[in-house]
């Protein structure tokens, strides 16, 4: 069998310089989402060994609604909900799986989902599978979202309004005005959905994220992934119990998927507990963010308030040349091109983690001016 159309498509990608290939990690980590070094520094290894010694199952054996629901899943969800002040939690194999399940099932026909223009691809996939009306609003523009609600009501829309945002955006490193979006949701009897993937572990009291103060509200749903700063895998949705029960009954991505392993659930619980005690690691990461902001300001780049620093170069070829130069010098920094980012905004995504030394950071910032010249 030949895949002529697919081969032709790959040829077009290669001709445009957008063909992607897998590569093994190499060089100093300035590209991963392992912000606190939980994965790279083996901080979860003792918990993993203890789980193995205790005989925790490495596979779930089925979906959660068949024989795949284990005590480890329920312990994780109960403790996580209590930790983040939510009524309930639901464990998924990944943030992508959680978002597609949530947006594909919870908003109903006639409801309106307003989503930030830079929202993650998983939300788009979930919305395509769902039945609600979906509309993007300009990035972080609360007023534009409010105007969209007014238009929806003026046209006779009577459904529920959902506002979907990220608290910290993965390619720009900027933060959402969560308090303003929460006020907008309150004013229109709406639901605010906040993806905390890149904020969990890095920001907030005890690393609870930027939306931690909203966790107990009846009209707030939060997603916290476990594969970034928390160093393992999976994701947790924090939501009212009625919404959780609805997803268990209606979300196809939950019903028809083999459950995450009990081992993953036990490791996730260990990561949450470790995160709660990781203030010293967060302080070190914040110090590196401050160092990066100071260095980047000197060479004229916009400043992100987070561990994600985008160096927007615009041109794709220039971006990939710069990435190759830095990789040749031992820095694992990746170029990011469309369609991951908008056309004309190709960039180096500089990710600050604790998998490097301060001296590595200093050396990087000594090299950047000549690479970016």
The catalytic site residues sit at 33, 120, 166, 170, 195, 198, 228
- Report which DSSP code applies to 35: T
**Pseudo-torsion of CA 257, 261, 266, 267, nearest 10°?**
-100
Q: CA of 36: how far to CAs of 48, 82, 353, in Å?
A: 18, 23, 6
Question: How far is Cα 173 from Cα 194, in angstroms, rounded to an integer?
Answer: 15
Phi and psi torsions of 360, nearest 5°: -65, -40
Q: How far is CA 114 from the centre of its chain?
A: 18
The helix or strand, by DSSP H or E, that contains position 254, with its residue range, turns out to be helix 252-255
Cβ pair 365, 309 in contact under 8 A: no
Cβ pair 116, 104 in contact under 8 A: no
Report which of 255, 253, 217, 258 is spatially closest to residue 238, judged by C-alpha positions. Answer: 217
Report which of 93, 41, 79, 84 is spatially closest to residue 262, judged by C-alpha positions. Answer: 93
Three-class secondary structure assignment of 148-172: HHHHHHHCCCCCCEEEEEECECCCC
Report which of 155, 175, 154 is spatially closest to residue 165, judged by C-alpha positions. Answer: 175
Question: How far is Cα 95 from Cα 86, in angstroms, rounded to an integer?
Answer: 18
Report which of 261, 253, 209, 212 is spatially closest to residue 234, judged by C-alpha positions. Answer: 261
Cβ pair 188, 223 in contact under 8 A: no
């Amino acid at each position: 069998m030949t895949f002529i159309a697919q081969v032709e498509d790959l040829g077009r990608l290669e001709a445009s310089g957008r063909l992607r290939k897998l590569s093994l990690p190499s060089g100093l980590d300035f590209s991963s989402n392992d912000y606190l070094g939980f994965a790279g520094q083996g901080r979860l290894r003792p918990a993993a060994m203890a789980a193995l010694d205790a005989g925790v199952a490495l596979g779930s054996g089925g979906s959660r609604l068949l024989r795949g629901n284990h005590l480890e899943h329920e312990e994780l969800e109960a403790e996580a909900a209590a930790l983040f002040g939510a009524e309930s939690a639901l464990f998924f194999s990944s943030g992508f799986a959680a978002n597609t399940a949530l947006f594909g099932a919870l908003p109903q026909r006639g409801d309106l989902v307003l989503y930030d223009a830079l929202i993650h691809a998983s939300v788009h996939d979930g919305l395509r599978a769902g039945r609600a009306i979906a509309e993007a609003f300009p990035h972080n523009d609360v007023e534009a979202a409010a105007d969209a609600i007014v238009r929806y009501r003026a046209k006779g829309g009577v459904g529920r309004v959902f506002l979907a945002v990220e608290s910290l955006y993965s390619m720009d490193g900027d933060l959402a005005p969560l308090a303003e979006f929460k006020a907008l949701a309150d004013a229109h009897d709406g639901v605010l959905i906040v993806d905390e993937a890149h904020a969990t572990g890095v920001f907030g009291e005890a690393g609870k994220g930027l939306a931690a103060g909203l966790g107990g509200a009846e009209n707030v749903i939060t997603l916290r992934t476990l594969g970034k700063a928390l160093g393992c895998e999976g994701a947790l949705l924090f939501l009212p119990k009625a919404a959780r029960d609805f997803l268990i009954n209606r979300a196809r991505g939950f019903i028809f998927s083999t459950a995450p392993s009990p081992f993953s659930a036990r490791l996730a619980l260990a990561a949450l507990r470790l995160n709660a005690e990781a203030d010293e690691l967060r302080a070190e990461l914040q110090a590196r963010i401050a160092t990066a902001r100071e260095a980047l300001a000197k060479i004229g780049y916009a400043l992100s308030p987070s561990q994600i620093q985008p160096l927007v170069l615009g041109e794709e070829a220039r971006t990939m040349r710069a990435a190759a130069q830095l990789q040749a010098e031992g820095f694992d920094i990746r170029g990011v091109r469309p369609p991951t980012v908008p056309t004309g905004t190709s960039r180096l995504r500089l990710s600050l983690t604790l998998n490097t030394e301060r001296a590595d950071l200093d050396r990087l910032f000594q090299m950047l001016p000549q690479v970016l010249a």
